[in-house]
Amino acid sequence: MTIEIPGWVKDAVFYQIFPDRFARSEQLPKPTNLEPWYTPPTRFGFKGGDLLGILEHLDYLEDLGINAIYFNPIFQSAANHRYHTYDYWQVDPILGGNAMFQQFLDGAHKRGIRVILDGVFNHASRGLFQFNHIMENGEQSPYFDWFTVKGFPLYAYDERKKANYECWWGMPALPKLNTDNPLVRDFLFNAVEYWTRMGIDGWRLDVPLEIKTPGFWEEFRHRVRAINPEAYILAEIWNEAKPWLQGEHFDAVMNYPFNRAAYGFFGDEALDRSERPGGFRLKRLNARGFARQVDRMLNIYDWDVVLAQYNLLSSHDEPRFLTMVKGDKQRLRLATLFQMTFPGAPSVYYGDEIGLEGGPDPDCRRAFPWDDRHWDHELLADFKRFIALRKTHSALRNGDFATLYARGRAYAFARTDATETVVVAFNMGARPVNLALSLGEMLPEDAIFDRVWSDEKYTVVDGVLALPLPSLAARILVYECPRENSA
């Protein structure tokens, strides 16, 4: 089967926004009893972030260099994270409602910024009308078979008793939808079609593998692509997902294997291995171990799928990368540079670029500090440079990948397309190293590389590029292929 990936994704730099915590507009009326913006986040408290606040800060995002946004859920919900969907047809009023979302979407699109939404279709909220109808009417409810109920009365709010209906991970607040019921599927797909017609650019799908209904995701893809052939369909799958990335289901996954490999190599001795993000035990990696994981990521999928993978360092579901490396910002810089030069679509989790830290949920969901006295401006400048580097060099978005060096704590690779070769090298060791990078017949014998952000030049001699590297540092070199003279 032909794998059709939206062409825009390989050029995308995503920014993940947790809507309750990014920005709060003073122009949008709010309910009372909101948590103060700068206090530590709590599991149940709301900060009151909204879509107008994000719209008011699009200049900031555009200046950062991002051109795509992934929103955590925005639909009406009784939870600050909004994974407890209360109404699939309404944007949460605290965020500004449907009209404000349309205004935001139009404003983002005018700036060339794509927007994908989080879709939670495995489970809903106790407040969903159909579930509430069952609580009110019991077995006589016409919606009885929208869920899998095992007894009455429903123990939806009695914490002393185990929920007597299927729910996500046994959590009573998240009743599992019966997607084997065609009425449930139509209900969900009609909502999906509504938001896709509004103009969104794709979906990030929450726990998709927990929906076991045959044909569910095939029909989802068909309905979405019939409306928007360029819609990006991204799945939350924490492991390798080859059977799901064959052109029938999803375009890509949230690339947590990338995340874990980056922890291991760039975190190294600073990595906090007491944490197990996603339930995975983290390992420190030398260059050879890192190279093996990189090769695995690059070879398990079709190349077009590799170019569409959602490559992340931090997310709302685990401690922030900076916190995981014990606040070492140089390690975050180097990991981000690798992220921006690696095949796939990189994603910045809001606040990473200014040095925001955060431990396990809910601490990884702190409010963005808009008082820039709290920012690391040098780190922000580097994020902008790294994003601009990716956008400037086509080889970093489309080019082939070749590992050049993987010994000790030093790792180097080349990205090559018809116009240029970009060499990227890292030294995560405690001492300087001198790399001898064998380029073979990749380039002319006397090819001269320019070092990015420097006036230095390096010449290939006998097929070898000699490159000195300081400790905990990186070098990026570019060779522009000569253009043939036109007739």
Annotated catalytic residues are 206, 236
Q: Which residue shows structure tokens 């090819």? A: 447
- Alpha-carbon distance of 468 to 459, in angstroms, equals 13
- From the CB of residue 126, how many other CB atoms can be counted at a distance below 10 Å? 20
Q: Which residues contact 136 (CB under 8 A, 6 or more apart)?
A: none
Closest CA to 438 of 474, 464, 416: 464
CB 200 within 8 A of CB 234: no
b/e sequence 434-458, b meaning 16+ C-beta within 10 Å:
ebebebeebbeeebebeebeeeeeb
Start-to-end Cα distance in the chain: 41
Contact 367, 38 (CB under 8 A): yes
- What one-character-per-residue DSSP string does 302-355 give? -HHHHTT-EEES--TTS--HHHHTTT-HHHHHHHHHHHHHSSSEEEEETTGGGT
Cα–Cα–Cα angle for 191, 194, 197, rounded to 5 degrees: 150
Written as six digits, the tokens of 78 are 């009784």
Residue 325 CB coordination number (10 Å): 23
Sign of CA dihedral 485, 440, 465, 398: positive
Strands 410-416 and 400-407 come out as: antiparallel
Maximal C-alpha separation, the chain? 83
Q: How far are the Cα atoms of 49, 161, 416, 448 from residue 458, in angstroms, in the given order?
A: 49, 70, 17, 6
Cα angle vertex 74, ends 71, 80, to 5°? 100
CA distances from 82 to 18, 70, 105, 211, 335 (A): 10, 14, 19, 19, 30
Q: What is the DSSP code (8-state) at residue 27?
A: T
Output Rg (C-alpha) for the chain, integer angstroms: 24
Cβ atoms 119, 196 nearer than 8 A: no
- Contact of 429 with 410, CB cutoff 8 Å: yes
